[in-house]
With several copies, the nearest count.
Chain A
Amino acid sequence: MIDKIKTADEAVAVIQDGASIMVGGFMACGTPEILIDALVRKNVKNLTIICNDAGVPGRGVGKLLTNGQIKILIASHVGLNPEVAQRMNTDVEEDKLECILVPQGTLAERIRAGGTGLGGFLTPTGVGTIVAEGKQVLNVGGRDYLLELPLRADFAFIRGSVTDKFGNTTYNATTRNFNPMMAAAADHVIVGTCNIVETGEIDPNNVVTSGIYVDSIVGGEKQWQI
């Protein structure tokens, strides 16, 4: 079997300036810090980051923001990281952040659509609001829905609790959040995980993310305070 286990620096070596990266986590709970830290060291720039939120300063994608690596952030909520507003409003062109806000359920579903080969889906969320601007509205059964399109990325950073050597992964508690959808929706998937076990050690009924999605596995991820 192909050996997928790498160091964090080896795993992120493939990522270049301008890449799009999906990052699992909700307020950094379920974000693979070990991969974020390696990406800060690699210091690639002009990244498009897709993540539920902007983390907090010093945690999760907040570190990439502080380091000036993010050009576009696609997220549902950025209010708990004051650096987002600062960077959105800066006059320094090269520090300027573009922030695209997407309702949380729509963001999750768009990523799911991206990973499952759907061309889009109809959601009632956002009808009549500024979220609907520029989008097709379809009426089904007398109700209006927005047509929302799939979302994919070049890379996904996934945070596992237990991962076997094939890449099969489980997530503990609320660390799961966006990780499973992102693992299916990126061309190249890197898992930062707390525990690496032998292939076959996870009960096949309880695997959440299949190893077929996983390109690299990085051990040594820890449980972090927010």
Chain B
Amino acid sequence: MADIKEIIAKRVAKELKDGDVVNLGIGLPTMVANYLPEGVHIVLQSENGIMGMGPAAEPGKEDVDIINAGAQYVTINPGSMYFDSAVSFGIIRGGHVDATILGALEVDQMGNLANWIVPGKMVPGMGGAMDLVVGAKKVIIAMQHTQKGRHKILDTCTLPYTAIKVVDMIVTEMGVMEITPEGIMLTEINPEYTVEQVREATQCKLIISPGLKDMEF
């Protein structure tokens, strides 16, 4: 399991360019910051009010006034800035975040995303997710390909949408997929899997890129 998350986080990290402003969701996406290629420095935005967030605070050295959006004590890097929530979401909605990386319950071939509610079961609220996926220049979904055998990449989402037509890329332990006008295209495959296995783990039609490559991580 840890290995799968590491594969995904490492691959996503390669999507980021030096100087990118990035918002990382809670959980797996947070790991992406640990695998940035050499020479790539990104600026982490935390929607509760930080530009230039650093790593988690060392135990015993927490500043209780500095948390991230997951309510963890964090640090800041030189050149950081604090702001209020209206400014924060102005940055997000205004297209000033180059990439947001987050998990999903379901993604479909239109690039629709469902990741905030399971009606009657889990109603945590959307937090900042709806704004982030609508506003960020690039939306990368980082998740396991299936959930306990259940498909997550679908013809049409069955759960309520977080937003419609927003996902640009999906990175799973099986490969890398891009959302194109024609549907979901597999562009890279983890050599541990066959194309057929990826197809089986994907409910919707999967276009295989003519230039399909091995997934780098």
A: residues with CB less than 8 A from B are: 1-2, 26-27, 29, 52-53, 75-80, 85, 88, 99, 101, 103-109, 111-112, 115-118, 123-131, 161, 164-166, 168, 171-181, 184, 199-200, 204-205, 207-208, 210-213, 223-226
Q: Decide: A101 and B125 in contact? CB cutoff 8 A.
A: yes
Q: Decide: A2 and B18 in contact? CB cutoff 8 A.
A: yes
List, sorted by A's number, 24 A–B pairs whose CB atoms are closer than 8 Å. A1-B41, A75-B125, A76-B127, A103-B126, A103-B127, A104-B128, A105-B89, A105-B92, A108-B89, A109-B89, A116-B93, A117-B93, A174-B46, A174-B48, A174-B68, A178-B84, A178-B85, A180-B84, A200-B78, A204-B80, A208-B84, A212-B21, A213-B96, A225-B62
Is B160 among interface residues, defined by CB-CB distance under 8 A?
yes
CB-CB nearest 9 A-B residue pairs: A79-B124, A105-B89, A200-B78, A117-B93, A116-B90, A105-B131, A128-B164, A27-B71, A108-B85
Q: Decide: B82 and A184 in contact? CB cutoff 8 A.
A: no
| Minimum CB–CB distance for A201 against chain B, Å | 9
B: residues with CB less than 8 A from A are: 18-19, 21, 41, 43, 46-52, 62-69, 71, 76, 78-86, 88-96, 112, 122-131, 134-135, 160-165
Residues of chain B within 8 A of A168, CB atoms compared? 79, 81
Q: Decide: A112 and B21 in contact? CB cutoff 8 A.
A: no
Most buried by A among B85, B91, B128: B85
Given contacts A77-B125, A166-B79, could you give 9 more A-B pairs where the C-beta distance is less than 8 Å? A26-B85, A85-B123, A88-B123, A104-B89, A117-B94, A125-B163, A126-B130, A210-B83, A212-B21
| Minimum CB–CB distance for A29 against chain B, Å | 5
Residues of chain A within 8 A of B165, CB atoms compared? 128
A1 nearest CB neighbor, chain B only? B41
Most buried by B among A26, A85, A129, A171: A129
Q: Decide: B123 and A118 in contact? CB cutoff 8 A.
A: no
Q: Decide: A199 and B123 in contact? CB cutoff 8 A.
A: no
B62 nearest CB neighbor, chain A only? A225
Q: Decide: A184 and B96 in contact? CB cutoff 8 A.
A: yes
